[in-house]
Amino acid sequence: MSNNNLDRSIAPAIHSIETVELPNVEQLVLDNGLKVYALNAGEEDVVKIEFVFKAGKWYENQNLVADLTARMLREGTANKTGKELADFFDFYGSNFNTSSGNELATVSLYCLTKYLEVQLPVLFEIFTQAAFPESELQTICANRKQRLLIELEKNDFLANRYFSQALWGTKHPYGRITEAAQFDAISTAHLHSFYKQNFHAANAFVIIAGKFDSGLLKTLNNIFGTKEWIGNKAAGNTFAPEPKAELVYHEDRKNSVQSALQVGNTTINKTHPDFVKFTVMNTIFGGYFGSRLMANIREEKGYTYGIHSSIASYPNGAFIEISSEVGTEVRQATLDEIRTEIELMRTEEVDSEELATVKNYMSGRILRSADGALRFSDTLKGLLLYNHDGAYIHAMLKEVQNTTAQDVLQLANKYLDYNKMYKITVG
């Protein structure tokens, strides 16, 4: 056995990440104006294609319509039942999925490259001839209603509902909550109308990532570049937040041994020049396992298994949220410790070692977000939502590395104020 003279008692040197190499992105425009972002890279013969539509909650005029429309795309077309669709994709070993969020709806297909072209016409059929069968809608609504009734018994679910309503108001898409009776008000006509208005080329872009032949792009144009599928761009809606005046709300629930808590307020989103350094500040405060909130409230006090501070950014708003579940007997003590940690962030400069640790942690996350075509395709989707491109990744890495202790202190004073935060507790 050879000895390489490696001294394992000495930790390897830590080197800061100065640059990140991004996969090459080729942008094409199909004949009908549909934009395609192609990341042709990888060692394995797999490919992921994702169609991204402006068809989230922001664009609906009735609660649940966006979510159920995306879900029902899997339930059949004019030529195939939902089971036949599922069997078709299963036959090729593909992962077909649909989802809907606050802003976007996505339809994705992950499969072996050699089987992609034969499946593309079926995807187009889904986008142009979705059936929305009444029986399937009723089944899905019944299941969702039952699931909602179960979730309403959970403290953390209730706290999240109250928190969202407090920040945005009940009429805003980000604050709108679902009531069981709303499932009874949904019809296939609502879904079909939303589908026709939003699921078309003028309202979408496509990301294709993995290992594929350049001829595939011509095939995409032949199938999805048809001018009959252009449609009109979604104008969207205009919503003004209507935050609640009361900053403190508690719902006592008998026999609860734990309380769910959410603390926070609206803040800046990714378009703001402070955002990256604000994220550095938040990571120190509560954004990763080694954060101050975790060190104090989990490790030192033992009040919880986990507590986190996160920033949720959307094109039309953003919020910072501190969330945890703690024993009911230490609910107020936990809130007091959150206040204490916020005041420390606002009054004392972070030391150089703690700041360096967080910079390295965040730089590593940025590096991982660009690790390969498939992973970067998810990152790219988020960039495009804000009209950003790969240059933003380079700028973000530079901003993280250039963040100073003084920056952290200033941003904590600018954006962290316990007295202006909502404190929602349930249990």
- Category of 64 on φ-ψ map: left (φ > 0), alpha (ψ -120 to 50) or beta: left
CATH architecture assigned to 26-229: 2-Layer Sandwich (3.30)
Q: How far apart are CA 71 and CA 132, in angstroms?
A: 10
Q: How far apart are CA 99 and CA 109, in angstroms?
A: 12
Domain-by-domain residue ranges, the chain?
Answer: 26-229, 248-426
Give the β-pairing of 204-210 and 35-40.
Answer: parallel
Indicate the pTM of the whole model. 0.91
Q: How many CA atoms lie within 13 A of 107 on its CB side?
A: 24
Q: Do domains 26-229 and 248-426 have the same CATH topology?
A: yes
Mean pLDDT by 10 residues, the chain (427 residues): 64 70 92 96 93 96 96 96 97 97 96 96 97 96 96 96 97 95 95 96 96 92 95 84 96 93 97 97 97 96 96 96 97 97 98 96 92 92 93 94 97 97 97
Q: Is 3 helix (H, G, I), strand (E, B) or coil?
A: coil
On whether the CB atoms of residues 230 and 33 are closer than 8 A, the answer is yes
pLDDT at 3: 54
pLDDT at 7: 72
- What residues contact residue 46 under an 8 Å CB cut-off, 6+ apart? 110, 111, 112, 113, 210, 211, 374
Least Cα distance to 380 among 371, 391, 389, 367 occurs for 389
Q: How far apart are CA 157 and CA 148, in angstroms?
A: 10
- Distances 358 to 4, 267, 288, 307, 350 between C-alpha atoms, Å: 33, 21, 9, 17, 11
Helix (H) or strand (E) holding 100: strand 95-100
- Distances 203 to 27, 286, 325 between C-alpha atoms, Å: 17, 37, 40
For residue 233, give both structure tokens: 């761009």
Amino acid, single-letter form, for residue 99: S
Q: How far apart are CA 23 and CA 40, in angstroms?
A: 8
Q: Is 323 helix (H, G, I), strand (E, B) or coil?
A: strand
Q: How far apart are CA 169 and CA 163, in angstroms?
A: 10
CATH 3.30.830.10 fits 248-426, yes or no: yes
Question: Largest alpha-carbon pair distance within the chain?
Answer: 74
Q: What are phi and psi of 312, to 5 degrees?
A: -100, 120
* Ordered DSSP codes for 21-61: PPPP-EEEE-TTS-EEEEEE--SSSEEEEEEEES-SGGG-S
Number of CB atoms found within 10 A of residue 271's CB = 12
pLDDT at 8: 75
Q: What are phi and psi of 27, to 5 degrees?
A: -105, 130
Q: How far apart are CA 97 and CA 52, in angstroms?
A: 12
pLDDT at 301: 95
On whether the CB atoms of residues 331 and 317 are closer than 8 A, the answer is no
Helix (H) or strand (E) holding 155: helix 155-168
